[in-house]
């Protein structure tokens, strides 16, 4: 399992890449894609939708199950990665290179983990 040092992480296995003071990209971690298995569908919100920290903004379906994607921040959806709607397997192939949404107008965020903290958290969980 890989973890990237330049990202922040949530306990529900999303990664966050801050691209500005109140903008960020959000994706699923390698641990998440590995646990879920091959992804077959993804539901993403629409641009302009509100994001609420700790609440679901979409879901991914693997051959095993459907899982919510939890937003680590509050704000609005600035962009979605539409390419994924037809090719969710990109998350399996390159989890850190594949963002799901870009959040803008971020007003609040959950307590996020550093790479080292996330690694420790995963080894406890897994």
Partner 1 sequence: MKLLFEKSVAGRASSILPVCDVPVVDLADNCKRQRPLRLPELSENDISRHYSQLERRAHGVNNGFYPLGSCTMKYNPRVNEAVAALPGFTDIHPLQPAHTVQGALEALSLAEKYLCAITGMDAMTFQPAAGAHGELTGVLLIKKYHEARGDTARVKIIVPDSAHGTNPATAAMAAMSVVNIPSGPDGCVDLDKLRAAVGPDTAGLMLTNPNTLGIFEKDILEITKIVHDAGGLVYYDGANPNAVMGVIRPGDMGFDCVHLNLHKTFSTPHGGGGPGSGAVGCKDFLAPYLPKPHVGVKDDAYCFRGDCPESIGKVKSFYGNFLVVLRALAYITTLGRESVADAAKNAVLNANYMMKRLSECYSVANTGLCMHEFVLTLEKEAKEKHITAMDIAKALLDRGIHPPTMYFPLIVHEALMVEPTETEGKETLDEAADIFIDIYRQAMADPESVHSFPLTTPVGRPDEVAAARNPILRYTFE
Of 38, 107, 114, 123, the one binding partner 1 by CB under 8 A: 38
Instruction: Please return the burial class of 86, using the count of CB atoms within 10 Å of its CB with bins 0-12, 13-18 and 19+.
Output: exposed
Binding part of the chain for partner 1, among 22-30, 36-44, 97-105, 112-120 by CB under 8 A, reads 36-44
Check residue 111 for interaction with partner 1 (CB under 8 A).
no
Q: Are 80 and 43 in contact (CB under 8 A)?
A: no
Q: Which is nearer to partner 1, 10 or 25 (CB)?
A: 10
Which is nearest to 91 in space by CA: 54, 51, 36, 47?
36
Q: How far is the CB of 105 from partner 1 (least distance, A)?
A: 24
Check residue 66 for interaction with partner 1 (CB under 8 A).
yes
Check residue 116 for interaction with partner 1 (CB under 8 A).
no
DSSP 43: E
Residue 10: count of CB within 10 angstroms of its CB: 24
Residues within the interface to partner 1 (CB under 8 A): 35, 38, 40-41, 61, 63-67, 89, 126
């Amino acid at each position: 399992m890989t973890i990237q040092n330049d990202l922040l992480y949530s306990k529900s296995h999303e990664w966050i890449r801050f691209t500005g003071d109140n903008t960020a990209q959000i994706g699923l971690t390698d641990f998440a894609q590995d646990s879920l298995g091959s992804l077959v569908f993804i539901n993403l919100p629409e641009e302009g939708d509100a994001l609420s920290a700790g609440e679901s903004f979409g879901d991914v379906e693997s051959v095993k199950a459907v899982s919510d994607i939890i937003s680590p921040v509050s704000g609005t959806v600035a962009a979605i990665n539409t390419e994924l709607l037809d090719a969710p397997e990109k998350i399996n192939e390159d989890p850190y290179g594949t963002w799901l949404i870009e959040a803008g107008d971020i007003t609040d965020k959950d307590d996020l983990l550093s790479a080292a903290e996330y690694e420790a958290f995963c080894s406890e969980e897994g």
